[in-house]
Amino acid sequence: MSWVVYLLTFGKDGIPSWGKVAGPAIRVRRPWPPKTISLMKQILLTAGVLAVAALFAGVLVQSAPEPESGEVVLADRAAVIAQSCAACHGTEGRLVTAIPPIAGRPEAVLHAQLVAFKKDQMPGATVMPRLAKGFTDEELAALARYFSELPPE
């Protein structure tokens, strides 16, 4: 029976001193200082203005008129597509390894080879037929034009 009395009288209210070990259960948080609130309002207002500006900028970009010449767009696309050639043929088609460099070669030769790759007419080719099949004939012609206009070295 004495152990029951001990347990009941060990803490101030009959509970062991848990509050003393862990500290108060709830800490009261002080409100933000006025300068901090003002700064937070400015940040949120600036973020909102930037978000609305970005929204309108996207609308304006999407509603821009198309260029008159489709060839300009295709030339830009050829420059982007040509980046996928860099892994094997080097940056701007100038890597000198077992894979031939393609920069500065005649446009007609490059176009004929790309079309032959697309039609599986190049014996011994491994990767190029699979790559060439993913492009249209216009894109292959634009690629040939792009690489022919680059200096060989």
Q: In whole angstroms, give the CA distance from residue 55 to residue 62.
A: 11
Q: In whole angstroms, give the CA distance from residue 7 to residue 112.
A: 95
pTM over 0.75: no
Give the angle 57-67-135 at the CA atoms, nearest 5°: 100
Q: Which CATH architecture has domain 70-149?
A: Orthogonal Bundle (1.10)
Contacts 24+ apart (CB under 8 A), 50-55: none
pLDDT tens for the chain, residues 1 to 153: 555 555 555 554 545 555 555 555 566 566 777 788 888 888 888 888 888 787 777 665 555 556 565 555 666 777 777 777 777 777 777 666 777 788 888 889 888 988 888 898 888 777 888 888 888 888 888 888 888 888 877
